[in-house]
């Protein structure tokens, strides 16, 4: 039985779409040849949609705590916003704009469907014509966001899907029929992309971004129809690849056109969120268009997501600074074989992936050979981000350090996903960054994998950890009621001290930790910690606890004011 297009349907759609992109991710990555053959379109689409799905769940949780239920506008708006702030790569940025375009129509005031006699749906859903208009607006918005639209890409697939949806909406009994028509139109358009874009034709594949959109629309049709079809996405062109096709047939490059070490396009991908006015963004588009290619700027209402490929990454960021306030800046160097013509190096025997707050800790772990996932307060990484980091470690065996008890389930899901790709992953149960440092210090790639995992787990378990934080609001803690602005001393995750001065509270926490003994104290100073804090604590340990050594590291921004580890 068809389901209405309401908030619940948006939630179901997100779940089914994540499953679909999860199934298709590797195949989509494998055919990614345009605009840059960097093999990450499927992954970027998955991560973008994962951010959208988390935002929808947060909207439902927020309404549940208030004893209400979200409406269609709430759920669609949360999905679009989540995709915008979590968009990855060129494909993810375009997906964010597609969802935003749909939301412009779905969130607008409209007369709801009155029941099966009127539209074939349950009360509360929007009419079929509304979905047709939403998909049409989505395709138009995505095309407007791309500086130089190219046919044979996801933009073409979106346009054909929208045309099919609007044609069906005139006589469709319910929105499920409109969604199914859009899916069929997208599939037909996808098959034609190799004939429209030379790079796809040479490689004998269809457009990777279009593949993702087909999977997304298939999930929408399933969510509204109540029938999960899980139709596989066609990734190859109708004509088979030449029997002797090598890497050049996949990338569309030849040894002559892409000599070793020579890049075939801009060297960097630059992505950032930007708070700016419409006028400033219009000027930014012009400036970035002159700096590089693959320019996509999406968003509105003061918040934008900027994506561009350039040779001068600094100039692209400076342009954003002139336009407004850029943040969550990501700069990726295109150093893959598909982009440069260089052979892909053999995977390492073993790698380490560590989740860390602050660039200081990240640099420390990277110096030790780890691949890092940097996090900001209140922004935990999704499982897809951890899977991507495991891939970036480029190793047959990976030791994963989540460094946060709240990330255990996320990390476990990422490890399981990576194992399905043939990577052997061990999850080291680190609960804090200082435990991760202790584990990393004993890491020995020459040991057997199991012995290395046991040694790192043991080192982490032998390290007690503490954190100094500032209370954001009045709350009840294990040490009593704290007020906004109070300094909180946490040991092994529990508040044990409430103080008014960071240094004095730190001294109290340190004394409590060392009362049970210890050989090494690790202090990680955050950028917001007062000057001289680490020196004061180091002197305190030297005076009162003989034979206890102290090491001090700079955590940088986004790290807590102070992290303490005692081994």
- Specify whether domain 7-241 bears CATH 1.25.40.340: yes
Indicate the range of 248-257, 443-452, 476-485, 516-525 predicted with least confidence.
Answer: 248-257
Q: Assess whether pLDDT exceeds 90 at residue 329.
A: no
Domain boundaries defined on the chain:
7-241, 268-340, 348-461, 464-566
pLDDT at 345: 52
Q: Assess whether pLDDT exceeds 90 at residue 382.
A: no
Tokens of 287: 């400036």
Helix (H, G, I), strand (E, B) or coil at 525: strand
DSSP string, 300-315: ETTEEEEEEEES-HHH
pLDDT at 235: 62
214 touches 186 (CB < 8 A): yes
Q: Assess whether pLDDT exceeds 60 at residue 80.
A: yes
pLDDT at 195: 92
In which band, very low, low, confident or very high, does the pLDDT at 547 lie, cut at 50, 70 and 90?
confident
Among candidates 399, 401, 387, 436, which has minimal Cα distance to 555? 436
Sign of CA dihedral 367, 344, 208, 15: negative
Mean pLDDT of the chain: 84
Sign of CA dihedral 250, 252, 257, 258: negative
Q: May I ask the CATH class of domain 348-461?
A: alpha beta
pLDDT at 13: 95
pLDDT at 264: 57
DSSP string, 352-420: EEEEEESHHHHHHHHHTT-EEEEEBTTBPPPHHHHHHHHHHH-EEEEEEE--SGGGHHHHHHHHHHHHT
371 touches 348 (CB < 8 A): no
What is the value of pTM for the model shown?
0.64
CATH among 1.10.20, 1.10.1660, 3.30.1180, 3.40.50 for 464-566: 3.30.1180
Per residue in 493-515, pLDDT (tens digit) is 889 999 999 999 999 999 998 98
Residue 50 to residue 249: CA distance in whole angstroms: 32
In which band, very low, low, confident or very high, does the pLDDT at 256 lie, cut at 50, 70 and 90?
very low
CATH topology for 268-340 is Alpha-Beta Plaits (3.30.70)
Q: Residue 124, exposed/middle/buried by CB under 10 A (0-12, 13-18, 19+)?
A: middle
Per residue in 153-195, pLDDT (tens digit) is 999 999 999 999 999 998 988 999 999 999 999 999 999 999 9
């Amino acid at each position: 039985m068809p389901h209405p297009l309401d908030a619940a349907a948006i939630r179901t759609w997100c779940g089914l779409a994540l499953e679909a992109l999860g199934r298709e991710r590797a195949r989509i990555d494998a055919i990614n040849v345009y605009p840059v053959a960097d093999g990450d379109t499927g992954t970027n689409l998955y991560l973008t949609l994962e951010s959208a799905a988390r935002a929808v769940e947060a909207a439902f949780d927020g309404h549940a705590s208030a004893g209400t239920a979200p409406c269609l506008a709430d759920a669609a708006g949360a999905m679009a916003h989540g995709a915008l702030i979590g968009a990855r790569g060129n494909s993810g940025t375009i997906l964010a704009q597609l969802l935003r375009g749909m939301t412009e129509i779905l969130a607008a005031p409209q007369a709801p469907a009155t029941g099966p006699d009127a539209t074939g749906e349950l009360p509360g859903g929007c009419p079929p014509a509304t979905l047709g208009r939403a998909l049409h607006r989505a395709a138009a918005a995505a095309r407007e966001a791309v500086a130089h639209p190219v046919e044979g890409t996801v933009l073409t697939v979106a346009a054909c899907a929208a045309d099919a949806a609007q044609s069906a909406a005139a006589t469709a009994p319910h929105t499920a029929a409109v969604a199914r028509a859009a899916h069929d139109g997208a599939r037909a358009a996808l098959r034609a992309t190799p004939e429209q874009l030379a790079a796809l034709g040479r490689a004998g594949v269809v457009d990777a971004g279009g593949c993702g959109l087909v999977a997304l629309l298939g999930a929408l049709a399933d969510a509204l129809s109540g029938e999960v079809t899980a139709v596989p996405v066609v990734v190859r062109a109708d004509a088979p690849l030449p029997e002797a096709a090598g890497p050049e047939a996949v990338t569309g490059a030849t040894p002559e056109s892409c000599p070793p070490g020579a890049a075939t396009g801009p060297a960097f991908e630059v992505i950032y969120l930007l708070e700016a006015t419409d006028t400033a963004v219009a000027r930014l588009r012009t400036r970035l268009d002159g700096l590089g290619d693959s320019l996509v700027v999406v968003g509105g209402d003061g918040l934008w997501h900027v994506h561009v490929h350039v040779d001068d990454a600094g100039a692209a960021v400076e342009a954003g600074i002139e336009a407004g306030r850029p943040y969550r800046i990501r700069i990726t160097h295109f150093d893959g074989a598909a982009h440069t013509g260089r052979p892909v190096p053999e995977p390492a025997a073993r790698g380490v992936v560590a989740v860390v707050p602050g660039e200081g800790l990240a640099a420390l772990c990277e110096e030790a050979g780890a691949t890092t996932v940097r996090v900001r307060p209140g922004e935990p990484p999704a499982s897809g981000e951890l899977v991507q980091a495991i891939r970036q470690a480029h190793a047959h065996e990976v030791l994963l350090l989540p460094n946060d008890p709240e990330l255990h389930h996320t990390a476990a899901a990422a490890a399981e996903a990576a194992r399905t790709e043939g990577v052997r992953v061990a999850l080291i149960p680190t609960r804090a960054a200082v435990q991760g440092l202790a584990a990393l210090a004993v890491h020995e790639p020459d040991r057997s994998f199991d012995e290395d995992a046991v040694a790192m787990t043991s080192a982490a378990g032998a390290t007690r950890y503490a954190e100094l934080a500032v209370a954001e609001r009045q709350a009840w803690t294990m040490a009593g009621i704290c007020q906004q602005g109070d300094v909180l001393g946490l040991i092994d995750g529990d508040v044990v001290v409430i103080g008014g001065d960071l240094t004095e509270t730190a001294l109290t926490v340190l004394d409590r930790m060392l009362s049970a003994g210890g050989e090494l104290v690790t202090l990680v100073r955050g950028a917001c910690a007062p000057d001289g804090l680490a020196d004061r604590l180091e002197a305190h340990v030297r005076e009162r606890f003989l034979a206890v050594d102290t090491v001090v590291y700079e955590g940088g921004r986004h790290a807590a004011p102070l992290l303490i580890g005692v081994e």
